[in-house]
Structures are given as structure tokens and as C-alpha cells.
Amino acid sequence: MASQDSKSKEGGQVDGRRLVMVSNRLPMSLERTEDNDWQTHPAAGGLVSALDPVMRRRGGVWVGWPGIADEATDTLRDVLDARYNADSAYRLEPVALTRDDIADFYEGFSNEVIWPLFHNRFTVCRFEPDYWQAYQRVNREFAHRISEVARAGDFVWVHDYHLVNVADELRALGVHNRASFFQHIPFPTADIFCNLPWWREIVYALLSYDFIGVQTVTDRINFLDVLTTLFDHVETQAGEYGIDINIGDDGLTRDKQQLRIGTLPISIDYDHIERMAASEDSLTKVQRFRGNWRDRTVVIGVDRLDYTKGLPEKFEAFREALRRYPELRTRVTLQQHVVPSRQRVPQYVEQKEEIERLVGEINGEFTEPGWVPIHYSFHSMDQAELMAHYQVADIALVTPLKDGMNLVAKEFCAAQRDSDGVLILSEFAGAAAELGDHALLVNPHDVVSTAERIHEACYMAREERCRRMDAMREIIRSHNAFDWVEEFLRAAGANQ
């Protein structure tokens, strides 16, 4: 481990301890240009959008992969030092990955095994032994990098399903800093989880953490059920910051027999979203977009390309609404933005083809002169443009089949500065636990009831729209990303 007089950037103090953030991706991506120079790009994704503002406020160290393959660690560090670390409130420490690592660890085990399994799609999992070997190897490499930059007393916070094994690998290296883990995606039921050939190894690795945070009560219950499947003697006791777990000595071969699990739903930087929505850049785009849509009711969807997001079901529900309620035709438009993702994974290629076929079918069935029912875009957007689309929209249609949280739902509400919008939300999104009393909840598999909700939202009285939206905005405002971090650190005992 690095010594106390390490030259790493100061900051991230938690009562004298630095915060060492660990995730698969750094918040900054690197790219070589054709003339062998370097470009930097802010990384996208819910995790980065939630944690980057927190790290900017706190400082500290963030360990992760900078998005480029087959580069030496020293090279990556030098580029980050020159392009980012010198002027940043926190330091980025790169983990170098090869193309084989990306293929087998990231695209393979992470996204063809854990991702579908934890989203109840275990029938599409590819349980390749080489994937598991790569997952262990890369987690070991992450642990090695952490051991190089962490000081005695630093608090290590590991994020998400790519890096479950990190704490176990740290212990093997003799690093015994307090380490906590946050699971951003759902945790499956025991009968689903146990389809994983290496499920016992994953459970043992999780037991190496001092604290585990999950998004919902359901995730916590599912994790405890997995423990009782593996161990005969599991005792739980409700504590101030979660559930304290004690496991008997009935086959557990590790020294660690206690941990705590807490339900800590992630949030957004509410103030930042509100400021971006009110920015001159965003408001200029709002005026242009409103001119395009005129007096039509705009339903917005913003989803990453993924089979868990329920995009085919969403389009079928919209088609059902147009069939059942002819008065919606020419009045309502679905503006669907799909953000590119994992385009080398076969299931994602198939998903893109399916949704584009559906869009073509529905537009072919209903298009009239001057009106196209679905405006589909496959692209990424900057934040000002996204905030403008949110503000122009009258209804957000957020209907994942399974989602750990879904920050789009929260961002849409935060951007509704006039509170005159309706959120239609899947009951299978983690956000439903917080916003479900005020959103219109749907089961995305039930296209008829979803169509009915679309119709209801289109004709909802302004007073009710504002009442519901005001309530959701207050929930999100009163529990923002910074509150979430502070709650996590308290629950994880970061000050101990």
C-alpha cells in the first residue's frame, strides 16, 4: 500500500480519511487521434452523473478504466495528469485493460452473464468459463491499482456488478481498509441467482465487504434469501443504518462473518439539473423545440439501448393507445431518444433492429399529412439539449422491465420547472418505491393498461398534473445525490 506521505492529490477527507471511489469506468474517457494526440471525453451513464458532482465537491481519488484498450498504465496516468488531474478537484487513477479483457470481462461476464441474470433474463446468459476467469483477473487488477494509491485509513467505495470481487482481492493483497459496495442494478431472487455456476464464489466475495448498499427493500430481501440458501445459520438484526448480518461457522472459510446491508436509493444532483434546465442554452433550445411541436402533446422516452428498458413493449403500448383512442391521433407524438450502448453484444444489435422495425410499422400504420406518431432518434445528447427536451415534453414514458433505479425519471421531474408534466413509470423501476404515490404506475408487460395510462395522462387536469409533479420534485429535492452519499458513508461506518 502507498505510504502516508504519498504524493497523490489531497482531498476527499472523511474525518481525516480520503474517499477512494472505484468503478468500472472513470468519469473521463481517453481517445487517441489519427495524429497520435489525445482527446478526452466526459463519460456517460447514471453512475457518473450521480457521483461526479459529489467528487467535485469532496475531492479524493477515483480508480477506473479510462475507456481505451491496450495502453500502458504509465501512459494513461501521464495523459490524465496533463489533461485532467492538474485542474480537477479529485484525482483519476487509471486501470489498464486489454482488448481481451474488454471482450471477456466487460462484454462477456459483466454484460452477458451478470447483467441479464440480475435483470431476470437468465435464459440469455452465456455461462462461459473463460468469462469467469477474466472477471477474476480484472477484479484482481483493480485491487492491485487500489493497493498502490490507497493510504492507511482511506475509505474504499466500490461500485456495481463489474467489481464484486474487488474487496476479496484487496484482502488477499493484505489491504484491510474499510471497503463498501453499492449495487446499482437489481439483486435477483435466490432461484434466479443460483443459476450462476459461480454464485457461491460471488456470495463469498460480497462477504468481504464491511457494508453493502442496495437500491430497494426488495433487493435487500433477495440478498438475504441468497445467504440463507447458502448458510444454515444467518442471524439478522435491524440497526440504525441497515440490517446487521451474522453468519455462523457452518462452512464459511473466511475470517469475515459479519456485514451490514442497507437500502439506499441513489439520487441526482437536483440543483444542477434545475440550473441546466434554466440555462440560456437550454431555454433557447426549448423555444425551438416548442415551435417544432406546436400545440401537440409530447410524450418523451429517453432510454439506453438495452433489452431491460422495455422499448418494444413501450412502442406496442403506444400503438395500442392510438388504436383504442382515435382522438389521440394527430394530437400526440412520442419522441423516443435511444442512447447507443454495447453495440458489439449480439442481443443489443437484435434489440435495435426490433425497435426500429416496430417504429416503422407504427408510423406506417398511423402517419397522416403533417403528423408522424413516433419521432425516433438513435443518438447521444449533451445535457442542455436533454433538459430542453424534458421541458418541452408533457409526459415522460419510463417503462423498463427491470431497473435498479432509473435516473431519467428523476431528471425529468427535476427539469419540470413549471411542474406541468406527468410521469408514467414502470412499477419494476427502483424509482417507483419513492415516486409511485404520485407517478402513474404501469406494468410494462400489460400494453393495454399502459395505453390507458397514456390516455389518462393526456387528459389529466392541470391542477392534478402540478400537484403530482410538485410532490415528486420535493421528494427528489429533499434527497439529492449529496444526501445519498452522506447517508451511504454514515451507514457504511466511514468515520469509524
pLDDT tens readout for residues 12-59: 454 457 899 999 999 989 999 888 899 988 876 666 767 887 788 778
Cβ atoms of 316 and 362 within 8 Å: the answer is no
Place of cell 395522462: 457
Place of cell 469506468: 25
* C-alpha separations of 493 from 151, 240, 262, 375, 474 in Å: 17, 11, 12, 48, 28
- Residue ranges covered by each domain of the chain: 19-267+482-491, 271-478
Q: At what angle do helices 407-415 and 383-392 cross, to 10 degrees?
A: 70
Give all strands (DSSP E) within 33-186, no chain letters: 38-42, 60-65, 90-94, 155-159, 179-182
Please work out, in degrees rounded to the nearest 5, the angle formed at the alpha carbon of residue 490 by the alpha carbons of 488 and 493. 105
Q: What is the CA radius of gyration of the chain?
A: 23
Whole-structure pTM value? 0.92
Predicted pLDDT at 342 = 78
Predicted pLDDT at 131 = 98
Give all strands (DSSP E) within 329-434, no chain letters: 332-339, 374-378, 395-398, 422-426
- Domain 271-478 top-level CATH class: alpha beta
Predicted pLDDT at 2 = 42
Predicted pLDDT at 250 = 52
Q: How far is 250 from 411, CA to CA, in rounded Å?
A: 46
Predicted pLDDT at 16 = 55
The length of the chain in residues reads: 496
Confirm or reject CATH 1.10.1330.10 for domain 19-267+482-491, answering yes or no: no
Predicted pLDDT at 6 = 37
Phi, psi at 431, each rounded to 5°? -60, -20
Predicted pLDDT at 46 = 60
Q: Which amino acid is at 230?
A: L
> Do the domains 271-478 and 19-267+482-491 match in fold?
yes
Predicted pLDDT at 325 = 98
Q: Report the C-alpha dihedral over residues 387, 391, 393, 394, rounded to 10 degrees.
A: 150
- pLDDT tens digits, the chain, 496 residues: what are they? 443 333 344 444 544 578 999 999 999 899 998 888 999 888 766 667 678 877 887 789 999 999 999 999 999 999 999 988 888 889 999 999 999 999 999 999 999 999 999 999 999 999 999 999 999 999 999 999 999 999 999 999 999 999 999 999 999 999 999 999 999 999 999 999 999 999 999 999 999 999 999 999 999 999 999 999 989 888 999 988 899 998 876 554 455 478 999 999 999 999 999 999 999 999 999 999 998 888 899 999 999 999 999 999 999 999 999 999 999 999 999 999 999 987 777 888 899 999 999 999 999 999 999 999 999 999 999 999 999 999 999 999 999 999 999 999 999 999 999 999 999 999 999 999 999 999 999 999 999 999 999 999 999 999 999 999 999 999 999 999 889 988 999 999 886 6
Cell of residue 219, nine digits: 433487493
Beta strands 38-42 and 440-442 are unpaired
Residues identified as active-site: 184, 403
Tell me which residue of 388, 378, 489 sits closest to 17, measured CA to CA. 489
Predicted pLDDT at 228 = 93
